[in-house]
Chain A
Amino acid sequence: MIESELIFGLKNSDRQALSVIYDKYYQDLYFYLLKFYSQEDLVQNAIHDMFIDLWNSRKSIGEIKSLKAYLLVSSRRKLFKLIKDIQLNSDQNFSYEDELTDIPFQYSHEDFLIEKEIDDNRRIKILEAINQLPSRQKEAVYLRYYEKLSVEEISLVQGINYQSVLNNLQRAYEVLRANPLIVNFLKAVLTALIVH
């Protein structure tokens, strides 16, 4: 089923469409949210709540340019809200006026296939180097090269304009390219590819 049919089905209360959407995007949403918060049960709840909301508001949903981008944004909002609620309950000094929009995007080493030849110590350093990039840049890279979103879709997910997304990707790329650790790592990977 193509995306527009899924959206149309959803708006017309077709549970089958909801089910297909669920199967199609669940894992993408899951791993994306894990980058902001590594607690899996909260991630599951966020996705669950997001789908419940999606179903309940199906009749009033406006135009959706990209279903995947829409779901990524909605589930991220849900997750941030859940995190905010938890912080409210645990920390009485936490000011709830604070817009919790700045939970950083963090990679874990499960996110990368790093050759076995590279020892743990270097592996951690590589991950640190990548994680030192600003959150927005890391997220853009992830959405671009892992989720295969277009630049337009990334701008929808991040709520920034097209050019800013390009700039973020470009900056991330330049920083990593200047990092000897990454470059050496890439050399190692490429060599490994040739050897085998």
Chain B
Amino acid sequence: MPPSVIYNMKKSRSIFGDKQGGPEIWNSIKFAKRKLPEELIASQKNRLMEGILDDKKSTPIIPIQPRKTIWIWYAAASIVLLMTVGSFLLLKENNFETSYGQIATVHLPDGTSVTLNGNSSISYSPISWRFFNNRNVSLTGEAFFDVAKKEVDGKRIKFQVLTRNLQVEVLGTRFNVIDREGNESVVLEEGKVQLMIPDVQIPLQMVPGDYVGYDASKKRMLQMVVLTEEYTSWKDKYILLDNKTLGELAQIITTVYGKKVVFQNDEDKKIPLEGKVPSDEIRILIAALRLATKLEISLENDVVTVSNSSKTITI
């Protein structure tokens, strides 16, 4: 390569603005692409993930600087210690979870009963329930709440359900909450609910029959009036299919039972369904679907395959 290549490099500043470009001098002084061992990254990541495990009330670490008056730091240190111990106690949580396809009812200390759908969990802090008179429960998955009324000194104590983005506040009522990938929603069966939605200043008041869904990725909210049975029937071990398509049911089968659903013909997803199917036993559900849709539906190795190959009659 003639030296002119090196000396004739453009001086124009515009080259710097170009993401890919740049003076050849830098492209020629080769930066070595260095790599860290994967084990190092993995172990460091583990350390982080463990560090943030119980982070809800974590105390900021206050750096101790020896130049300041010493007693302040002793005081600060003891406050930090107190807060750490305090938050440790507060963070001690009771946790209940269900596996795929399992429905279970949890009775909370205040008389509230929570029915968990498959692949769901709730947790609460018994310490803060006891000493701070709060009734906060965190939920992932889907649960039906039958909340008991609670009064302390003539004051009603609210019950709160927290999902990733939503905060549901009630006094005593029956409602269904879902927090699944791409779907957070509340359906109110009875009573009154106050719902806090991100970026919405005023809490939303729900009345029986209301459905409110929130899509965090699109920051969009949907409110409508529904037949609540459609959303709550699972706790009585059946699924009400009216207004659902086969595709929507497939979604439920995946999230609640953990079975992947494969459609050989995508058009089949649009098939409207009606009636009821039992939901406590996936095999019975599939048998019922097979009868109703006249499609070939099979369950093998955790995969549900929907096809219509053998049953199609062409004239």
Interface of A toward B, CB cutoff 8 Å: 5, 8, 12-15, 18-19, 22-23, 26-27, 30-31, 44, 47-48, 51-52, 55-56, 81, 85, 88-89, 96, 110-114, 130, 141-142, 144-146, 148, 150-151, 166, 169-170, 173, 176-177, 182-183, 185-187, 189-191, 193-194
Contacts and interface: CB of A to CB of B under 8 A. Distances in A.
B44 A44 contact: yes
B30 A112 contact: yes
A142 B13 CA distance: 18
By Cβ-Cβ distance, the 4 closest A-B pairs, closest first, are: A113-B30, A190-B1, A145-B26, A146-B31
Interface in B114-167: 164-165
Q: How large is the interface on B (under 10, 10 to 19, 20 to 34, 35 or more residues)?
A: 35 or more
Contacts of B44: 26, 44, 47-48
7 contacts: A5-B217, A8-B216, A14-B164, A27-B35, A113-B30, A183-B6, A187-B1
A26 B49 CA distance: 14
A166 B30 contact: no
B48 A22 contact: yes
B55 A26 contact: no
A194 B1 CA distance: 7
A151 B3 contact: no
B311 interface: no
Per DSSP, chain A at the interface is helix
A68 to B, nearest CB: 13
Contacts of B202: none
B25 A176 contact: yes
Nearest to A81: B63
Contact of B164 (A12, A30, A85, A111): A12
Contacts of B45: 19, 22-23, 26
Contacts of A18: 48, 52
Nearest to A189: B28
Contacts of B107: none
B66 to A, nearest CB: 7
Contacts of B27: 145
Contact of B65 (A48, A51, A88, A146): A88
A145 B28 CA distance: 11
B9 interface: yes
Contacts of A191: 1
A51 to B, nearest CB: 5
A145 B22 contact: yes
